Amino acid sequence: MNDSVVIIPTYNEKENIENIIRAVFYLPHGFDILIIDDGSPDGTAGIVKRLQTEFPERLHLVERSGKLGLGTAYIAGFRWALERSYEYIFEMDADFSHPPKDLLNLYAACHTGGADVSVGSRYVNNLVSVVNWPIGRILMSYFASIYVRIITGLKVKDTTAGFVCYTRRVLKRFELDKIRFKGYAFQIEMKFTAYKLGFRIKEVPVVFVNRQLGTSKMSGGIFGEALFGVMRLRWAALTGKIKPRKA
C-alpha cells in the first residue's frame, strides 16, 4: 500500500474514468485511487472493475445506491482511507478539471512543505486560473470566495476548491459525522474546520480546466447551500460547536 490515496467521486463518468485513472497511475509518485460511485447508470463502476484486474493493489471501488451527494461521498472515502492508514488523502474530480500532474505539488506541500492541508487554488497571486468557463461562472466563483472570507475570516482565497490534500492527522481530529453540507459548502466547511482547529493550510496554484466530456453536476441548489451555509459555519465557530474529535 502506498502512503497516498486519491478519492474520486463519480456519477456517470464513463467518458473520463479510465483516462483519469491511468493519468494518476502514470505519475512518478505512487498514488492509490479510491472511486466512490453513486450508482452510475452509464456503467462507470463496470469500467472501474475491469481496470481493477490490471491494478489490483492500487485501484479500489466503493459502490453506493443512488446520488447521495458529494460531501457524503468524500466522508465515506475519508473513513475508508483512515481505516487503511494512508498518510495523505486527496480529493479530486473525475473530469480532468483538476490536472493530475498537480497532485505532485499538493503532495509536496504537505509531505515536505510543512502544510497540514494543501489546496489546489485557482485564485492565488491575484490571478484567476480558469480555462473554458463562462465569464458569469468565473465571477460567481471568485466573488463567492471573497464573500466566504469576509463572513468566516478564513485565510484561503479559493474556499470552494475541490482539489485538496488532507494529512491523516487533520482528518483524525475531525468529527466527520458532524460535517453537514454536501455541495460547495462541504468544501468550505472542511477548510474552515481545519482552519479553526489550528492546522496550516497552504494554497498551491493550479489551472482549472472546464470538463470536455460528460455532463456537469453543478446546480443552483449547490450555490444556495454555500451562500447560507457560511453563515451557519460562522455561528458554529462563535458558539464553540467546531471542535476536535475526542480521542
Q: What are the tens digits of pLDDT across the range 135-147?
A: 656 666 666 777 7
Classify 195 as helix, strand or coil.
helix
pLDDT confidence bin for 12, thresholds 50/70/90? very high
Element (H, E) at 163: none
What mean pLDDT is predicted for residues 34-60? 97
* 3-class secondary-structure state, position 79: helix
DSSP E strands, 64-154: 88-91, 117-121, 130-131
**Residue 207: exposure state from Cβ atoms within 10 A (0-12, 13-18, ≥19):** middle
Q: Is 32 helix (H, G, I), strand (E, B) or coil?
A: strand
Q: Judging by DSSP bridges, how do beta strands 164-167 and 88-91 pair with one another?
A: antiparallel
CB 30 within 8 A of CB 2: yes
74 with 91: CB under 8 angstroms? yes
pLDDT for 27 equals 97
Please name the amino acid found at residue 241. Answer: K
Is the pLDDT score of 247 beyond 50? no
With 0.95 as the threshold, say if the pTM is over it: no
Reported as half-sphere exposure (CB side, CA atoms, 13 A), residue 219 has a value of 8
